[in-house]
């Protein structure tokens, strides 16, 4: 079914590398802990596909035994966010559209974006802080899980996949880019650029959002 002008849209945002330019929640958390060498090694393994999301989550969980809510709050504030995020989400709401963040990063970081006006925020489920339980691999998201969550959000908001717009930066967004009709590669690697409807390089989400246009 083709998208009909005047019907609500659902804007789906990745977080790491997309809303956070050139960084990721885990990197910014490790920076607060003074453990940049450790996260650099993990990022290299993950980038080379030597480990997958569950193994990555278990590794950071083991290194985050001293992590507190104060560390997470400080990492969130210090992260290099794109400008204009709250303004874009406010405009989306005012238009009667919907917006959501789906990220492989820990939900205790991702869900802080609810305070910025996004309708929904989904991340990998970790135990409550400070950790007293192991991480459950079944709660760790993957690229395929992003598509499943997108389908669930469509049902929740009464929006078809044909009315979705996805914003991402890396191959972890490739599956959702292949699922929805309009996609925006934001400061993306060369692999995702070739899959995108629009490409944006810069520091302001308002400019990336303008590429999509607003029919209706």
User: Exposed, middle or buried: residue 83 (CB in 10 Å: 0-12, 13-18, 19+)?
Assistant: middle
Please tell me the predicted confidence (pLDDT) of residue 4. Answer: 55
Please tell me the predicted confidence (pLDDT) of residue 195. Answer: 95
Distance CA 186, CA 127 (A): 31
178, 147 Cβ separation under 8 angstroms: no
Please tell me the predicted confidence (pLDDT) of residue 49. Answer: 82
Please tell me the predicted confidence (pLDDT) of residue 50. Answer: 86
Which residue from 45, 14, 43 is spatially nearest to 26, judged by alpha carbons? 43
Please tell me the predicted confidence (pLDDT) of residue 2. Answer: 43
Distance CA 169, CA 13 (A): 10
Please tell me the predicted confidence (pLDDT) of residue 47. Answer: 82
In sequence order, the 6+-apart residues with CB closer than 8 A to the CB of 113 are 15, 19, 101, 121
Tens digit of pLDDT at every position of the chain (216 positions): 344 566 899 999 999 999 999 999 999 999 999 999 999 999 899 888 889 999 999 999 999 999 999 999 999 999 999 999 999 999 999 999 999 999 999 999 999 999 999 999 999 999 999 999 999 999 999 999 999 999 999 999 999 999 999 999 999 999 999 999 999 999 998 889 999 999 999 999 999 999 998 654
Please tell me the predicted confidence (pLDDT) of residue 5. Answer: 62
CA 9 to chain centre: 18
In sequence order, the 6+-apart residues with CB closer than 8 A to the CB of 215 are 5, 6
Residue 43, helix vs strand vs coil: helix
The pair of structure tokens assigned to 207 is 């400019």
């Amino acid at each position: 079914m083709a998208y009909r002008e005047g019907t609500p849209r659902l804007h789906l945002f990745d977080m790491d590398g997309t809303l956070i330019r050139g960084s990721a929640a885990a990197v910014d958390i490790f920076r607060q802990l003074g453990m940049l060498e450790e996260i650099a090694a993990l990022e290299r393994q993950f980038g080379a596909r030597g480990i997958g999301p569950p193994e990555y989550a278990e590794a950071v969980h083991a290194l985050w035994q001293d992590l507190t809510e104060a560390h997470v709050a400080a990492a969130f504030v210090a992260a290099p966010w794109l400008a204009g995020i709250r303004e874009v989400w406010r405009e989306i709401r005012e238009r009667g559209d919907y917006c959501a963040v789906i990220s492989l990063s820990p939900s205790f970081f991702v869900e802080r974006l609810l305070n910025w006006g996004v309708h929904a925020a989904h991340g990998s489920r970790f135990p409550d802080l400070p950790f007293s339980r192991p991480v459950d691999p079944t709660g760790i998201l993957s690229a395929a899980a992003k598509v499943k969550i997108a389908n669930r959000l469509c049902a929740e908001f009464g929006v078809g996949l044909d009315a979705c717009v996805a914003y991402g930066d890396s191959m972890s967004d490739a599956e959702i880019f292949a699922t929805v009709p309009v996609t925006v590669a934001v400061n993306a690697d060369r692999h995702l650029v070739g899959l995108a409807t629009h490409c944006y390089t810069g520091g302001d989400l308002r400019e990336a959002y303008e590429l999509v246009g607003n029919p209706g």
